[in-house]
Structure 1
Amino acid sequence: MLAPRPIFSRLLQQTARRYHAGHDFKPPSMDELPVPQGSWQAQYDANQRRYNSILLFGIAFGVGSVILAKASGLLYLNYAPPKSLD
């Protein structure tokens, strides 16, 4: 049976010395960032149309689900007192 302590300490020795980046490492600069292209207003408007359509679909799906559950008798909204205590 192998002793776990020497294996573990050997792993720590090998990985603890790998903190440097190497000789060919160049720190990142602002020149490497992507350059924006096109109109920000056109992209913003397209995003808002998409987000609003998702919002409207979610509202319609939620309202439709409540109406369907109420019509099928699975949901009681408790908006009035019950007719009897039974």
Structure 2
Amino acid sequence: MLTRQLPRLVQQTVRRYGHDSHFKPATMDELPVPRGSWQAHYDANQRRFNTALIVGIAFTVGTFIVAKTSGLVYLNYSPPKSID
């Protein structure tokens, strides 16, 4: 009895991924169809991206100016004033 069960215990198990009969391979017909002018869409995106860039730069410069004028930031571009 042990000699019959030993090969089953020693053998390597293999994953068997079953074939799903409901699987349908994708086709080119399922891809979205482009509509409208790509140039108009590109220009609209660039306006939006450039606006975000300008707002970000303005916010950064404004924050830097407020921090510099309030004395929170010292840039060390000249020797510090003497403590004496």
Whether these two folds match at TM > 0.5 is yes
Unaligned runs of 5+ in 1: 1-12
* Alignment partner, residue 3 of structure 2: none
CA separation of 1:53/1:21 partners in 2, compared to 1, >3 Å: closer, same or farther? Answer: farther
Question: Normalised by the size of structure 1, how large is the TM-score?
Answer: 0.73
Q: 1:26 aligns with which of 19, 24, 27?
A: 24
Question: SS where residue 64 of structure 1 aligns?
Answer: helix
Gap runs ≥5 in structure 2: 1-12
* C-alpha RMSD over aligned residues: 1.8
Q: Is 2:81 the partner of 1:69?
A: no
Larger Rg belongs to: 2
1:85 CA displacement: 5.3
Greater than 6 Å deviation, 4+ residue runs: none
Which of the residues 37, 44, 60 maps onto 1:39? 37
What is the rounded CA distance, in whole Å, between the counterparts of 2:28 and 2:18 in structure 1?
A: 22
Percent sequence identity over aligned pairs: 66
Say which SS state the counterpart of residue 67 (structure 1) adopts: helix
Which one has more relative contact order, counting CA pairs under 8 Å at least 6 apart?
Answer: 1
Aligned length in residues: 71
Q: What is the CA distance between 1:48 and its match in structure 2? A: 0.2
Deviation (angstroms), 1:21: 4.8
Structure 1 residue 22 displacement after superposition: 1.4
- Partner of 1:60: helix, strand, or coil? helix
Residue of structure 2 in register with 1:55 after alignment: 53
